[in-house]
Structure 1
Amino acid sequence: MSLGDLCDDVPDIAVHTVADDVRRVDLIASADRLGALLADAGLTTGQVVAVMMPNDATTVAALFGTWRAGGVYTPLNPRAADAEIGSQLESLRPVAVITTPELAHRFSSYDLPVIWGASLDWTVTSCGQAPTDPRRYGSDVALLQFTSGTTGPPKPVPLRHATVLDLIDRLLAKLRGAKTRAATTDRKPMPNLVPLSLSLWAGIYQVLFAFRAGSGVVLMDRFSPPDFAALVKRHQLRSTVLPPAALTMVLHDESVTDLSPLKIVRSITAPLSPVQARRFRDRFGVLVLNSYGQTELGGEVVGWSAADAREWGETKLGSVGRPLPGIDVAVVDDEVMVRTPTTAARSIDPAFLDRLTDEGWFHTGDLGWFDDDGFLWLDGRVSDMINRGGLKVFPGAVEDVLLSADGVREAAVVGIPDERLGEVPWAFVARQTDELSEDDLIRWCREHLTPYRVPVRVVFVDRLPRNDVGKVVKRDLAAMARV
């Protein structure tokens, strides 16, 4: 089975938006029409199709239409600069571009076949020439997703049909516990709200996860806390996902006072502080559960089961849960190591083989530790760990202390070069009130941290710089310290 078949088994209404509902039959018909157009344009199995589209049902149809034609779907971010798009197209060598009339100008200087998509319809607007040496992958590659570029230049990560399906099925098995899908068919399927751009793997993954579970999706063109609260109420959502940046927006939006019937939020894409999770629970009565995965691995590899949430949800706020069935996770020299069926077979992209051991363990680059009950906790990136005169400072632990102080909205800790100690921790804080001072926070940290972990400086910012998936871009903060 390929990912392209998932839309055949969803409810009658497959996609909900703020303005419209789209039926499954219309979504499938649109995907089939696109597949035929791509075949006419010369697409053969394993060739790349580049897509720049908004968050709507037509984009979902583009995803499945590409797969039904045997293509490798590659989303391009509309927010990316023209130079970045040009570099990506040069690397991808796609046989066609799918976009909207409004975004078509981004590709006017490229001699490529261009297909417009709008309202589930498709129009071939440019009959440019596909490259003579188009990039080609194996038939098992479903999608290329460019990395976020937080630790280096963005590069395309191939994701395979079987790998993604395998990880989704493992997560569903963990979430359902002893229940089977058949045992839950007496309850109307709850759609999966997707608060992320479909130009990101995290957004696409949530669509695939919903369809595999037999549910529809609710798409947000642009995230806003009032719209989020309204959609939760309209669709009577009992659970949903949110990246930390969106969760923080909801938490601090005074216009949002009620999120019922929401019971659980699964935090995705980046670590969420247990302090923020506790504040969200206290304000809305909603339990926040972290999860963990990486694009390079194909999806989520650590998470929570329903049974774990009932037993441990309140006492282990901030943990990312326990490994999914059949996934091995270990912590070696403070770094999280993961072994999946794909990595064990060493069938990952050659670009990432340097992160793979001979035994199939993948270096995630994340800092973490296991507690006595087998729950994994994250402490930031290995590259973010601060070596203060030979003593390790884990940024996550310091950030949690800062967030627990009254008046702190967001906090990030970065290592800054120091002539005597090598590097020292600086804190960058977005505060809720100007009355909070640097001395106040330094004093608070001294009361709650061992001396070498206390930041030497606290710099106040309006907001933390984040990339499109909500991760804090710490190199931007380090650059501020050098000014």
Structure 2
Amino acid sequence: MSTLWPRYSAPEDLTEIESVPLSDRGLPDSTYALLKRAADLWPHRRAITILPEAARWRKPRSWTFAELLGEVRRYANLLREQGFGRNDAIALMSNDRAVMIPAILAAQLVGIAMPINPDLAPEHVNELLARAGAREPDLSASPESSKYDGELPQGTDLAAYFHTGGTTGAPKLAAHTHANEVANAWMLAANELLDEDSVLFAALPLFHVNALIVTLLTPLFKGQHVVWAGPLGYREPALYGEFWRIVEHFRITTMSAVPTVYGVLAQCPVNADISSLRFAMVGAAPLPPAVRNSFEAHTGVPLVEGYGLTEATCATARGFPDALRPGSVGQRLPYQQVKVQADGVLAISGPTVFAGYVKSPGELVEPGEWLDTGDLASVDDDGFIRLSGRAKDLIVRGGHNIDPAVIEDALLGHSAVTGASAVGRPDPHAGEVPVAYVTVAGDVTPEELREWAEQRVPERAAAPKEVVVVPALPLTAIGKPYKVELRVDATRRELEGLDVEVSAEGGGVVVLVGADAVADVKPVLDRYAIAWRIKEEARS
């Protein structure tokens, strides 16, 4: 048995894997060392294929592993010429895969890569740059030399700053070490589901850890070919009309996406031979049973769930297509320890827990031994994790905690419901009452859905007071549910008729009142446990 590659094809292999210390596995010291290993082992094998926009996917750009290494070294030389060094944060903002893929790896070789969502508001970008002391390099030209003789990073060196999925105020910056990223990539590569001939499809944005860890670094371990979508990735509508033909042409083995992508693909006629697609990976948001059922029935391809967060590098659990555990997001990955704390919240410990949040240039707020995920969960004896919602999303009705997942699950059981999200609406008597927002595909009324949920939730207190049908549920830029926007809407509905404005601030909801309306509005607002303040009037 290889020290690097243990037997790992079933859940019961986990104990045997962990009988060998991770330090004895012989992992590369850095992401650059991982790339260099791949180029040495498979110099002429195709590593990366980048598609242009969907209409021209048959005219891609490709690199072998040796060519990818050369591109990374050229960008690294460019960064060094511009004065970047080991402790410098290098901000990268682009949707061009041909630039971002080698630039991220080069930035980790030279300093600290800091990929940023180009769609973030400018004030948020500026705050992130200031917090990290980062600057953006000029990547418009690259030195021709593919030789690199600079200082090489070590496992304890910082590799990247990734901003979290925050949407109100500037997101947090999570710092990863090279050891974090290499270990997490190895944990995913160590399974026997994919061999060297497997081909992966990637389309998530490179400012998201899933794109870096799951579809860039992990394939380097076994020399696997990755086909990358164009600049817009899954956000390009035309991609879906061509998707199954792309799978057939490149013989795609697996893919990674969020639930909304599979919901769309379940509606796209299968107009090609997709027999190469063994399974599809899904994460970042809860997978509605209706989406799983429709996609698997439509394609015959099993969906394999995973679970993770930026603060634990990327992935903490993943499922097995031949050993599915309904309701589970997968078994914990090797060498990661998980436990449920007294408050019901999942905590993680091990080699993938991040180095800390960036407080200021060169200063980190380090995590404790156990990382609090904020996710309510249970863990069985085999290490399989079942999530039951976000702790901060709990609806508190008269001092009684209600998990919104029980409401959402009840509504998703209706054949017409395609998506559901429950939140708390301010109430003068109970503090909060549950309300739900849904998307539907069929002829059903909100009142019918409210009655449906009332009959199926596990407790009377969880019955939604109102069900609102919306065209789409709000998501973050990386596909995660965005409940703050729904809380704003619920508060606005409750306060309808009052001369106030409702907005999201700092992850919460605040009511803004004009100075001349305070006397009339304050007695009403004081009946609610909600934050409010006087609105600053625009100056002429």
TM-score category (smaller protein): 0.7 to 0.9
CA distance in 1, matches of 2:70, 2:254: 30
Q: 1:414 aligns with which of 389, 406, 423?
A: 423
Q: 1:170 to 1:45 in 2, by over 3 A?
A: same
Shift of 1:84: 2.1
What residue number does 2:54 align with? none
Contact 1:226–1:256 (8 Å) recurs in 2: no
Matching of residue 197 in structure 1 with residue 227 in structure 2: no
Q: 2:480 aligns with which of 465, 471, 477?
A: 471
Shift of 1:263: 2.9
Q: How does 1:244-259 map to 2 (within 5 A)?
A: 244-253=259-268, 259=274
- After TM superposition, the structure 1 stretch with the greater mean CA deviation from structure 2, 403-412 or 20-29, is 20-29
What residue number does 1:405 align with? 414
Structure 2 letter corresponding to 1:74? M
What residue number does 1:327 align with? 336
Q: 1:88 to 1:348 in 2, by over 3 A?
A: closer
CA distance in 1, matches of 2:90, 2:173: 13
Shift of 1:474: 0.3
Matching of residue 20 in structure 1 with residue 60 in structure 2: yes
Contact 2:424–2:487 (8 Å) recurs in 1: yes
Matching of residue 156 in structure 1 with residue 173 in structure 2: yes
Q: How does 1:124-203 map to 2 (within 5 A)?
A: 140-150=157-167, 153-173=170-190, 175-176=191-192, 184=195, 189-203=197-211
What residue number does 1:310 align with? 322
Q: 2:312 aligns with which of 280, 297, 301?
A: 297
CA distance in 2, matches of 1:67, 1:379: 36
What residue number does 2:32 align with? 4
Contact 1:465–1:472 (8 Å) recurs in 2: yes
Structure 1 letter corresponding to 2:98? A
The runs of 5 or more residues in structure 2 that have no matched partner are: 1-28, 52-58, 145-153, 493-540
CA distance in 1, matches of 2:452, 2:316: 36
Aligned to 2:134, what secondary structure does the other structure show?
coil
Q: 1:83 aligns with which of 123, 126, 130?
A: 123
Q: 1:230 aligns with which of 237, 242, 245?
A: 245
Could you tell me the percent identity over the aligned residues? 27
CA distance in 2, matches of 1:58, 1:122: 14
Q: Deviations over 1:392-430 (max 9, x none)?
A: 321223212212212212111111222222212111111
Q: Please give the TM-score of this superposition, normalised by the length of structure 2.
A: 0.74
Q: 1:353 to 1:2 in 2, by over 3 A?
A: closer
CA distance in 2, matches of 1:283, 1:165: 36
Q: 1:354 to 1:393 in 2, by over 3 A?
A: farther
Q: 1:263 to 1:404 in 2, by over 3 A?
A: farther
Q: Deviations over 1:259-317 (max 9, x none)?
A: 4432311112222123422222222212112111110111211112x4xx323x2xx33
CA distance in 1, matches of 2:184, 2:274: 30
CA distance in 2, matches of 1:151, 1:298: 22
What root-mean-square deviation, in Å, do the aligned CA atoms of Structure 1 and Structure 2 show? Answer: 2.7
Q: Please give the TM-score of this superposition, normalised by the length of structure 1.
A: 0.82
Shift of 1:254: 5.4
Q: 1:401 to 1:422 in 2, by over 3 A?
A: same
Contact 2:345–2:373 (8 Å) recurs in 1: yes
What residue number does 1:29 align with? 70
Q: 1:41 aligns with which of 68, 79, 82?
A: 82
Structure 1 letter corresponding to 2:203? P
What residue number does 1:446 align with? 454
Contact 2:128–2:170 (8 Å) recurs in 1: no
What residue number does 1:126 align with? none
Q: Which has the larger radius of gyration?
A: 2
Shift of 1:201: 1.9
Structure 2 letter corresponding to 1:54? N
CA distance in 1, matches of 2:31, 2:61: 22
Q: 2:388 aligns with which of 375, 379, 395?
A: 379
Shift of 1:256: 6.8
Aligned to 1:286, what secondary structure does the other structure show?
coil
- After TM superposition, the structure 1 stretch with the greater mean CA deviation from structure 2, 438-447 or 291-300, is 438-447
